[in-house]
Structure 1
Amino acid sequence: MNMPTSVMRTVFFVSDGTGITAETLGHSLLSQFEGTHYRQVRVPFVDSPEKARDCVQRIQEAGQRDGLRPIVVSTLVSAAAAEALLETDALVLNLFATFIEPLEQELGCKASRTIGQSHGRANSEDYAARIEAVNFTLAHDDGVSDVDLDKSDVILVGVSRSGKTPTSLYLALQFGIKAANYPLIPEDFERNRLPGALAPHRHKLFGLSISPDRLTQIRQERRPDSRYAALENCRWEIDQAQKLMRREGVRWLDSTTKSIEEIAATLMQTVKLDRHTF
């Protein structure tokens, strides 16, 4: 059934943990329905039937306000809490229940249904690796330091504001990848070569480019009406950066219409960085 585009419907992401998994999976599902509008509410740490009933109250209030049944995307592990969540007039999608029961049948054993299992002590080494990667990335942001670049997994290059910093931090936090980033500046274009500190690490370089119009828009927010943000200058810098990367054999992609997740996935596949998500 098609809904009028002016209708706002509330979606709850309910979890006994942070709610990130519920929200990520929920977004993936909802993105398949174009023209719909949602008011999103994340409800984390619902780890008891009592808290689930408090959540039910919020869901009912949202339904009364909207005049439409809310949608609830749940990753509750506790059967008692998940059952309490059903005491409301809403579409409740329990993603864990969808997959756990078939897995129990296939594996021939019962799931522990232990809250917080995915973030327990077994991941402590992975967590430490992520923190180490984030610290490394922050210390090597925007060419601040070229010390220990040999310890990096990848070095992002590109003109200022092309998306290097957010992509580097995402790689570090999500995958534990030590990602440095280095700006390509007019002096590099005039010398017609990469910054000297990067030459020994050419095999680790990956470039980001961006459309001139988008770059101008981003730079205007930082330095309005400056030469730095002028469309003509942005066009020149991007053109020079792309020529330099081609000449130096640096693999690169255009980040204009891509999300950080898409950039990271493409980068990891291109430079063959095999990491699992956390």
Structure 2
Amino acid sequence: MRRDVFFISDGTGITAESFGQSLLAQFDHVEFARQTLPYIDTPEKASEVVAIIDQCAARQGIPPLVFSTIIDETIAGIVCQASARHQDIFATFLGPLEEELHLHPTHSIGKKRKIDANNHYSERIDAVHFALDNDDGARTRHYDKADIILIGVSRCGKTPTCLYLALQFGIRAANYPITEEDMEDFRLPAPLQPHRHKLFGLTIDPQRLVAIRSERRPNSRYASPRQCQMEVAEVERLLAKERISCINTTRFSVEEIATRIIAEAGIARRLK
């Protein structure tokens, strides 16, 4: 089965995407062709969207799925005229909240993502800079300022996880790759030892590691099954010896890896 899906918003479309993707993930046997249409903030743009959706419905012979987050009732009403199965996220949830809180919503476009003093924008940017400056063990002198330090073999997901922790939660995350040379003494590298309480390990299935490394350095020792198997086994043995918490990243998205780390390490989110 194949269905076309549209995420439509008068802002970035991130909320519509996140909500819709979470629901669609429950239907493994359906192939979804996704399209995001952000900044639909005028009646003219809304009418163009309706034409696109109607053409898709006529071509496929089945109505597309639409997830929308549009505040303006006039624009939302136009989009709802499209030949689609419509999920108006704001209409679904704002009404009951308005009734419960006995207040009218402000109907302000882009309210959640507005840059102001209340959403700790500067903390988010500082955390991203910290993750970039302390990536891949390039610098270790600022580890005292880190909220967490991720360790593991090269290409197991440390960098994207650090950046996600920074961007989404304002967490200052550094990462350090455990190399073959580091394992010669079978103990934590010297730069990590003073910060043992901040360490969290990432591991990965060796075959998945082979595939990832082969994209970067095909037919190399670095990407060979034997090398990947050896590195993963040694790092897992070190993590067990040092009693450092770890998770296997093989089947998790970066979002899941990050939130599991927060939960298991007990890190406080700077952005909520």
* Length-normalised TM-score, structure 2: 0.96
1:23 equivalent to 2:23? Answer no
1:167 maps to: 161
Q: 1:261 aligns with which of 236, 255, 261?
A: 255
Matched length: 272
* Aligned residue identity for 2:39: F
After superposition, the C-alpha distances for 1:151-208 in whole angstroms (9 at most, x for unaligned) are 1111000001111111111111111111100000111110111111111111000000
- Structure 1 SS opposite 2:200: strand
1:140 maps to: 134
* Aligned residue identity for 1:269: A
* Aligned residue identity for 2:48: D
* Aligned residue identity for 1:112: T
- Structure 2 SS opposite 1:156: strand
CA distance in 1 between counterparts of 2:132 and 2:262 reads 19
2:265 maps to: 271
After superposition, the C-alpha distances for 1:134-160 in whole angstroms (9 at most, x for unaligned) are 111001110011121111111000001
Q: Contact conserved, 1:137 with 1:172, CA < 8 A, in 2?
A: yes
CA distance in 1 between counterparts of 2:205 and 2:23 reads 30
2:28 maps to: 34
Correspondence 1:54-133 to 2 at 5 A: 54-122=48-116, 125-133=119-127
* Length-normalised TM-score, structure 1: 0.94
* Aligned residue identity for 1:274: A
* Aligned residue identity for 2:4: T
CA distance in 2 between counterparts of 1:215 and 1:262 reads 18
- Structure 1 SS opposite 2:18: helix
Moved more, 26-35 or 99-108: 26-35
Structure 1 residues 261 and 215, CA, compared in 2 at 3 Å: closer, same or farther? same
After superposition, the C-alpha distances for 1:198-235 in whole angstroms (9 at most, x for unaligned) are 11111000000001111111111111111111111111
* Aligned residue identity for 2:35: V
1:91 deviates by: 1.0
Q: Contact conserved, 1:158 with 1:209, CA < 8 A, in 2?
A: yes
CA distance in 1 between counterparts of 2:260 and 2:113 reads 27
Structure 1 residues without counterparts, runs of 5 or longer:
none
* Aligned residue identity for 2:215: E
Root-mean-square deviation (CA, aligned residues, Å) is 1.4
